[in-house]
Amino acid sequence: MQAHKEKEGTLSTNVPASEAPVIVYGVDTQIGLNIIRELGKRGVKVIAIGKKPGAVGLYSRYVHQRHVLNNLQEEERIQALNDIQAQSGARFLLCVSEDDILFFNLVATRLTGLTPLVPGLDEMAKVLDKQQTMTAAEAVGIEVPRSFQLDAYEKLEEIIGGLRFPAILKWANPHDVMKPAGNLGIKIEKLRYVYSADELRQVMAGFIPLGHYPLIQEYCAGHGLGQFFFIHKGQDLLRFQHRRIHEWPPEGGYSSLCEAIPLTQFQALQEKSLALLRALNWTGVAMVEYRYDPKENRAVLMEINGRFWGSYPLAYHANAPFAWFSYQVLGLGKTPRQEPLNEHIRCRNLLVELKRLYRICFRADLIQDKSRHFSRLATFARVFTDFFSPSTRYYLFDWRDPKPAMMDLLGMLKKLLRIGG
């Protein structure tokens, strides 16, 4: 329960300090780190706040001032932020997670001189509610997976007969059930595969004490396709898109290797994505995520992320500066000029790629989707050859800012030594 201030850093002498400093809150992952790099390279004075001392973003050369806020109660956190604002002169705040976006909406009026550049509560509620998102998507002509929502366990038998397996379980809004489930000792998983009616009955029975049940959703073949937008007053000011080449876990999840896709592809789908975001009255950054099956040329909506996303490093390396647009448009009221995108690169999370390689080569029995088969040789070849590809970038490592990746690797080695000891 402490507010811990790290030693103040300095900007590179050739980067002018901004007249409007910004706090980047939650720099513990690659997302916050690359937001820092994007803003710092453009001369913005960045105050980085991590939730633990080893947060990778705290080690970036583009950080002007570093802080750690961990295990603080609400009033303590607000006071710490107000103290940081008074000392640093920060005018704006960007954050990463949904929990933090919701928090800063609730406490915005109690922050002194600091404006959170985050989506509003009403907008966030719409994208967090997967049922509402799917209804809006269907209205604009986007295909959605068949989904069933139970309100009582006894009704499960009514839908089992119409299900095809495997099926996927995901929560319509995990934030609504996380706390009560934790109080009951019930684990909430973001996504789970089930392979038979008996397995589905067993899993769903575990939620009877909670009184809430995850969505039961049809399985959609293909790979992840992400379309990203910055929208202001109904206008899209910035676009980008990528496809997932590798995911963790291997059968489907978040990106471990992804590549940029030229905006000349999937143009009709881009317009539908924009129509969906406009229908939800969205402002700011958003990721519209699909599962795309190239064999059937079929794109099925998975969800909307109303925040900066996990593969944000690819957007940073591709010169799609969503954080810069957030700062300029939402903060300063200016519309920056968009420079050409670098649409011929890929980006990978190296440690996750190695973990994926190990799973495929040595623990394939843990892969949930038994219909998926992965070539060990092809997987190894891709991981190895990407070291020599000029188009490959990394989630953490950047030769212009190498310390975050070095410190992350050091932290992992220390953890392994402690486990081994």
Helix segments in 215-266, DSSP class H: none
Distance CA 167, CA 131 (A): 17
The pLDDT assigned to 419 comes to 62
Is 151 in contact with 310 (CB distance < 8 Å)?
no
Across 119-170, where does the E strand assignment appear? 147-148, 167-170
The helix or strand, by DSSP H or E, that contains position 215, with its residue range, turns out to be: strand 215-218
Mean pLDDT of all residues in the chain? Answer: 91
Question: Which residue in this structure is represented by tokens 């070539």?
Answer: 375
User: Which pLDDT score, from 0 to 100, does residue 3 have?
Assistant: 43
Report yes or no: 127 and 305 within 8 Å, Cβ to Cβ. yes
Q: How many CB atoms lie within 10 A of CB 75?
A: 10
Residue found under tokens 């806020």: 69
Residue (of 118, 110, 45) closest to 82 by Cα position: 110
Separation between Cα atoms, residue 126 and residue 145, nearest integer Å: 18
CA pair distance 133, 277, nearest whole angstrom: 9
Closest CA to 393 of 351, 353, 356, 349: 349
Sign of the torsion formed by the C-alpha atoms of 181, 288, 393 and 96: negative
- Alpha-carbon separation of residue 12 from 16, 43, 44, 313, 399 (angstroms): 8, 10, 12, 22, 15
8 Å CB contact between 240 and 320: yes
- Three-state DSSP at 79 gives helix
pLDDT at residue 421 in the model:
53
- Give 373's DSSP letter: -
The sign of the dihedral angle between the CA atoms of 290, 398, 40, 349 is: positive
What confidence score (pLDDT) does residue 319 get?
97
Q: Which fold has domain 146-218?
A: Dna Ligase; domain 1 (3.30.1490)
Q: What is the rounded CA–CA span in Å between residue 116 and residue 145?
A: 34
CA-nearest of 370, 152, 130, 156 to 250 is: 370
**Region 223-404: CATH code:** 3.30.470.20
d(CA 287, CA 308): 8
Residue (of 43, 34, 94) closest to 64 by Cα position: 43
Here the tokens at position 184 are 């009951």
Q: Which long-range contacts (CB under 8 A, 24 or more apart) does 107-113 make?
A: 107/74, 107/78, 110/78, 111/78, 111/81, 111/82, 111/85, 112/82, 112/85, 112/86, 113/85, 113/86
End-to-end CA distance of the chain: 29
At 63-91, the pLDDT tens digits run 999 999 998 999 999 999 999 999 999 99
Please count the other Cβ atoms lying within 10 Å of the Cβ belonging to residue 51.
Answer: 19
Q: Give me the residue label for tokens 């997302």.
A: 31
Provide the residue-wise pLDDT of the chain in tens; the chain has 421 residues: 334 444 333 333 333 445 799 999 999 999 999 999 999 999 999 999 999 999 999 999 999 999 999 989 999 999 999 999 999 999 999 999 999 999 999 999 999 999 999 999 999 999 998 889 999 999 999 999 988 888 899 999 988 888 888 888 988 777 788 889 888 899 888 778 888 899 999 999 999 999 999 999 888 888 999 999 999 999 999 999 999 999 998 887 789 999 999 999 999 999 999 999 999 999 999 999 999 999 999 999 999 999 999 999 999 999 999 999 999 999 999 999 988 999 989 999 999 999 999 999 999 888 877 677 899 999 999 999 999 999 999 999 999 999 999 999 998 888 777 765 5
* The pLDDT value given to residue 12: 35
Give the list of residues 6+ apart from residue 124 with CB closer than 8 angstroms, or none: 98, 101, 102, 105, 306
Q: Please, is 381 exposed, middle or buried when counting C-beta atoms within 10 Å of its C-beta (0-12, 13-18, 19+)?
A: exposed
Q: What are the boundaries of each domain within the chain?
A: 2-118, 146-218, 223-404
- What one-character DSSP code corresponds to residue 349? -
Sign of CA dihedral 331, 332, 333, 337: negative
Residue 188 exposed, middle or buried by CB count within 10 Å (0-12, 13-18, 19+): middle
Q: What's the CA gap between 22 and 18, in Å, rounded? A: 9
CATH class of domain segment(s) 2-118: alpha beta
Q: In Å, how far are 64, 96, 204, 328 from 20, measured between CA atoms?
A: 13, 20, 50, 10
Instruction: State the number of CA atoms in the 13 A half-sphere of 17 facing the CB.
Output: 12
pLDDT of 286 reads: 98
How many CB atoms are closer than 10 A to CB 5? 15
> Counting runs of H as helices and runs of E as strands, what totals does the chain give?
14, 17
